[in-house]
Amino acid sequence: MAQTILITGASSGIGRAIALEYAAKGWNLALMARNKEKLTIVAEACKALQANTLISIGDVSIEADCQTFVESAQRTFGDLHVLINNAGISMRGVFKDTDLSVLKNLMDVNFWGTVNCTKHALPHLLKTKGSVVGVSSIAGFKGLPARTGYSSSKFAMQGFLESLRCENLKTGLHVLIACPGYTASSIRENALDSKGKAQGKTPLKEDKLMSAEEVAERIYQAVEGKKKYLILTIQGKLAVFINKWWPSLADRLTYNVVKKEPNSPF
């Protein structure tokens, strides 16, 4: 019988690619996001691959929406096997100039969204000895300049998931912390500026970045292999390694990368 995966933030980018990856592998899919139109298009593409697909329109920062998402997946498909906490937003702006509401918004979506969905899915995943996945970031290992809210939320997410993994050493629950490097998607267009408005365009050449499809495939393999961490891109691996052993060098290199971005605040 087909296994069931729940994916948040499935209307675009990495979440959309994960949905299509698992659809092609014959899994049942429960997909969540706020934008009904975009999520429906993704669901139709998954159904075209013969995957049983359910959509749930909701906001991960609202606990009741996460509860509804998990309960409707359970009612429709029965046992639940994998939860991918992928929904996320980013920001750009130095802390000195940034409204605190921006940082709170990032924490609500990236950290609390993960906690909310995990809380409601956990009893079902414990029953199947399934997997909880957090799509974090290299910014969850290395604090990035002009991304205080983003890095804080991803560090918090990783602390939560690592604690959860330790707590479940004897229960059979698998926890994967997946950290993509720069990946082509809408995240930088949607990133909030220091006043909380979407910045509207990306400072990077998106076509030069890792594709969302490659990230999805690597996450699929890491879940199958019950890996604890997945760190992607050469730049991402280097950032994590250098930050561990030479943190001052990592600060200088990171500052210079962000400084070179168009319209950099530095």
Ligand X SMILES: NC(=O)c1ccc[n+]([C@@H]2O[C@H](COP(=O)([O-])OP(=O)(O)OC[C@H]3O[C@@H](n4cnc5c(N)ncnc54)[C@H](OP(=O)(O)O)[C@@H]3O)[C@@H](O)[C@H]2O)c1
Binding positions for ligand X, 206-265, rule CB under 6 A? none
Say which DSSP state 208 is in.
Answer: G
Cα dihedral: 14, 20, 21, 24 (round 10):
180
Give CA–CA dist 121/133, Å, rounded. Answer: 12
Site string for ligand X, 11-30 (x = CB under 6 A): xxxxx---------------
Is residue 150 annotated as a catalytic residue, yes or no?
yes
**By the rule CB under 6 A, 185 interacts with ligand X:** yes
What are the Cα distances from residue 123, in Å, to 39, 86, 127, 171?
26, 20, 6, 11
Question: Any contact of residue 91 with ligand X (CB under 6 A)?
Answer: no
Minimum CB distance to ligand X, residue 182 (Å): 5
Q: Contact between 180 and ligand X (CB under 6 A)?
A: yes
As a whole number of angstroms, the distance between CA 141 and CA 139 comes to 5
Q: Is 35 in the site for ligand X (CB under 6 A)?
A: yes
Number of residues that bind ligand X (CB under 6 A): 29
The one catalytic residue in 22, 150, 182, 220 is 150
**Residues 6+ away with beta carbon under 8 Å from 223:** 82, 131, 133, 174, 176
Calculate the dihedral angle through the C-alpha atoms of 18, 22, 24, 28, rounding to the nearest 10 degrees.
Answer: -130
Smallest gap from residue 172 Cβ to ligand X (A): 26
Q: What does the alpha-carbon distance between residue 103 and residue 137 come to, in Å, rounded to a whole number? A: 17
Whole-number minimum distance, CB 170 to ligand X, in Å? 29
Which one among 24, 25, 38, 45 touches ligand X, defined by CB under 6 A? 38
Q: In terms of CB distance, is 70 or 109 closer to ligand X?
A: 109
Question: Interface with ligand X by CB under 6 A: which range of 72-80, 125-133, 178-186, 238-246?
Answer: 178-186
Which residue type, as a one-letter code, is found at position 171?
T
Binding site for ligand X (CB under 6 A): 8-15, 33-35, 38, 59-61, 86-89, 109, 135, 137, 180, 182-183, 185-187, 190
